[in-house]
Amino acid sequence: VDYYHSRRCKIFKEVDKGGRGKEKRRLLGKRIQLAKERQSKSKAKYAKQLKKLEEDLKEVEAAESLSTKLKYVVDVLADCVHRWLTVSNLKATEAMKHIFVTYFRVIKHMPRSALLEPVLEGLSKFAHLLNVEFFDDIISALQSLIEQQHMRVLDSLHCVHAAFVILSGEGVAINVDPFRFYKSVYRLMTNVPFEKRPELRDREISVMLRTLDMMINLRRKQVSLCRVAAFVKRLLIICFILPSHCVVAILAGIRTFFVSHPRLSSMLESGEEVAASGLFKPDVDDPDCCKALSSAVTSELSVLCKHSDPLVVQLAKHLRAGLPSSGAAHISAEISTRKPYEWIERCRKQEINDEPYFYERILLYCKKRKVQLSSKNMQMVLNDWLITML
């Protein structure tokens, strides 16, 4: 109880500080800079820019909503019970059971409430403590939840992450086909680059990489090679419209897939040497049916080798060369041993927010072709754009 009260005080101080998050500080700084430049701008231009800034500030402040505070409350409650569980056998198990019952009720009956985000995060964090008797019901509820159109990308990713935490632990014995979860993540991936708020986008990528690690690396014996190849192709495509720190994290993640699935090396060949037959279908949102193994990834990696960020270039050359342990294309142990999502968290701490290197060229290409780039057509458009870059 003492621990709970001490954590609660600390947490609500953190919530209060959260109102001055990175994005808000950036916008406030921009407003100060705009005020300094007022004399050099026309009245109409100044008013337009100020209005846009005020709208962005309101959006950031609105994001610091009830769900943010609820996240801390739900997390600290589960954390307290978890600590209690490790030091005492009194009634901690019963308390944890009640927490998971509450999680389940929110997922099942209140999927549109502000509670959903903290509950999914809490479930994702503490699913390894879930009692076996809940497994079937929770997995079924999560499968239904990811089909709902109102779900945010981050919430959907937390939903899948929680499912695979369960399926990778004691739930490995459950007779459930997780394909629906694979398909959902594959579909969601093209939405990530279009998230306008950098901090939220980085959180999405971090959760996505953690989830893919369980889906592809931990389940290496259960997942087909063609499915893994599809995820590799789509991950490489979204790299072209993401900032360099996100690209580094994704390339580091792809590297782990090649380590876990050595037969993926066929994708580093080209022309007639490619392993499978048929043509890759970038417009198909089914990782098992898009025939990703019928194409190589040498084009994507060759273009990424032209990136402005030296670490992106180093990782792209390393992948293109087949992950050598020595020679010009090898990478240091410091880079190879770092978890992919750690690159995101490291950059977030340093407040790095660089612009996507290829984005302007892609927009120019779309303008010439009179195409509007979106999450629906991104992979097709960028596949065609790649040809012009080689």
Does the pLDDT value for residue 269 go beyond 70?
yes
Report which of residues 62 and 118 the model is more confident about. 118
Does the pLDDT value for residue 243 go beyond 70?
yes
Helix (H) / strand (E) containing 166: helix 153-168
Please report, for residues 91, 198, 227, 261, 375, the alpha-carbon distance to residue 302 in angstroms, rounded to integers and kept in the order given: 58, 27, 23, 21, 23
Residue pLDDT, tens place only, 290-339: 999 989 999 999 999 999 999 999 999 999 999 999 999 999 999 999 99
Does the pLDDT value for residue 368 go beyond 80?
yes
- CA atoms of 362 and 378, how far apart (whole Å): 10
Cα-based angle 123, 21, 69 (whole degrees, multiple of 5): 40
Q: 174, 140 in Cβ contact below 8 A?
A: no
Does the pLDDT value for residue 14 go beyond 80?
no
| Across 385-389, average pLDDT | 93
Window from 109-113, 210-214, 251-255, 336-340 with minimum mean pLDDT:
109-113
| Across 236-240, average pLDDT | 98
Q: What is the mean pLDDT of the chain?
A: 83
Note the pLDDT of residue 11.
44
Residue pLDDT, tens place only, 127-146: 777 777 778 888 888 999 99
Cα-based angle 132, 136, 142 (whole degrees, multiple of 5): 120
Note the pLDDT of residue 22.
65
Note the pLDDT of residue 345.
82
> Which SS3 state, helix, strand or coil, does residue 356 take?
coil
Does the pLDDT value for residue 58 go beyond 80?
no
Residue pLDDT, tens place only, 31-40: 788 787 877 7
| Across 50-55, average pLDDT | 82
Does the pLDDT value for residue 274 go beyond 50?
no
Note the pLDDT of residue 1.
38
| Across 225-249, average pLDDT | 97
Note the pLDDT of residue 336.
95
DSSP 132: G
- CA atoms of 200 and 353, how far apart (whole Å): 12
| Across 167-180, average pLDDT | 81
DSSP 355: P
Does the pLDDT value for residue 235 go beyond 90?
yes
Note the pLDDT of residue 38.
77
Q: 270, 245 in Cβ contact below 8 A?
A: no
Residue pLDDT, tens place only, 69-98: 555 555 555 565 555 555 555 455 677 777
The model scores a pTM over 0.85: no
> Which SS3 state, helix, strand or coil, does residue 174 take?
coil
Q: What percent of the chain has pLDDT over 90?
A: 51
Does the pLDDT value for residue 231 go beyond 70?
yes
> Which SS3 state, helix, strand or coil, does residue 130 take?
coil
Give Cβ neighbours of residue 339 (< 8 Å, ≥ 6 apart): 252
Q: What percent of the chain has pLDDT over 70?
A: 81
